[in-house]
Structure 1
Amino acid sequence: MALADLLSFLPFLALALAAASTGARYKPGPWYAALAKPPLTPPNWVFPLVWSALYLLIAAAGFKVWRAGGWAAWPALAVWAGHLLLNAAWSWLFFGRRRLDLAMAELVVFWLSILATILAFAPHSATAAWLLVPYIAWVTAAGALNWGFLKLNGPRGELAAEAVSAGAYPAPGTKALPPSPPPAARASRAAPRPSRLAGSPRDPFRP
């Protein structure tokens, strides 16, 4: 990539990373750990890996449209930039506000904005449009998971919130307290051991 192309690519990468920053700010944490998980929920480490690759594809797609159409492509690029706002809003609603219902509704609009971006990019660069296909496929899967979380946990994940409040899932960086021993065990620990009284008969078989 020539230096001029690299400099042109950087603004697109910066906008994509700005959208990604909400995912870094609003992390799953104890509340998400306490949620009942729908089938086929990926482990937590999968999400940053997939999203890192997708944000690179998002930036590359925007750059390719700019390179192909220049200022004539500004309506398509406006759709691209607007969809990034919806991308950023989902993490805030799901993990920040803990509103599974609002996140689900927003994700429908978000998915439609990706489709609109693909359709707007296609006349300028077929390659750019295809670069977004893995993106919309992943968001489709995320929508199915969001719906599963909503059905299992309610609009606000009430059961998970109660578990966190009860201390079942400690805050990140802290350790859960060990369980207290049962009362009988505590009583046996506290009971004094019988001592040998002075003048008591000595067992001839013990020293």
Structure 2
Amino acid sequence: MFWLLFTLFMVACFSAGATGGLFPPGAWYRGLNKPVWTPPDWVFPVTWITLYICMSVAGARVALAEGNGIAMAFWSIQIALNALWTPVFFGLQKIRLGLAVIGALWVAVLLGMIALWEVDTLAGMLFAPYLLWVTIAAALNASVWKLNPEQAA
């Protein structure tokens, strides 16, 4: 049962991640001013694949546990917000709105991590790298907004 659930959570994660293929960064993003600490392009797919595996393991573990309702609700909210950010930021090219979405995502990941932790400690721990990465992504989004005021208007 675990592997079936794991597969379903991976499908959800990769569906959210597929928005990156539908709305790639492209010339618009390459033309923006970015902070010097912006990770190189290859870091993003490697990081997301790793995080999606961790998120799927966490989801599958908690889905099998008693009292998982709140944790599963936060898991669902965070993956929806995860899927929303790319079309907003890259598709619509809305830097400020992207920051609002990623801010909501950060809160959902934090609360999800806490809820997962209460049901299964390892599941909560598996969300910690995700929270770190969303923190970095939010800081990058905020920096792009600050460095490109004309694009963010």
TM-score (norm. length: structure 1): 0.70
1:134 aligns with 2:123: no
Paired residues of 2:2 and 2:61 also in contact (CA < 8 A): no
Match of 2:54 in 1: 57
Please state whether the residue corresponding to 1:27 is helix, strand or coil.
coil
Structure 1 segments, 4+ long, off by >3 Å, are 155-158
- 2:78 and 2:125 mapped to 1: Cα distance? 17
| 1:157 Cα deviation from its structure 2 partner | 5.2
Give the total of aligned pairs.
153
Match of 1:66 in 2: 63
TM-score (norm. length: structure 2): 0.93
Q: Which 5+ residue runs of structure 2 have no aligned equivalent?
A: none
- 2:20 and 2:135 mapped to 1: Cα distance? 18
- Map Cα deviations across residues 97-154 of structure 1 (whole Å, 9 max, x no partner): 1010110111111100001101111121000000010000011011111111001112
1:145 aligns with 2:119: no
Match of 1:82 in 2: 77
- Map Cα deviations across residues 1-22 of structure 1 (whole Å, 9 max, x no partner): xxx3212321111111111111
- 2:51 and 2:93 mapped to 1: Cα distance? 24
Identity, % of aligned positions:
37
Query: What RMSD in Å do the two structures reach over aligned CA positions?
Result: 1.5
- 1:93 and 1:5 mapped to 2: Cα distance? 33
- Map Cα deviations across residues 26-51 of structure 1 (whole Å, 9 max, x no partner): 11111111111112011111111111
- 1:100 and 1:155 mapped to 2: Cα distance? 11
Letter of the 1:153 partner, please give it.
Answer: N
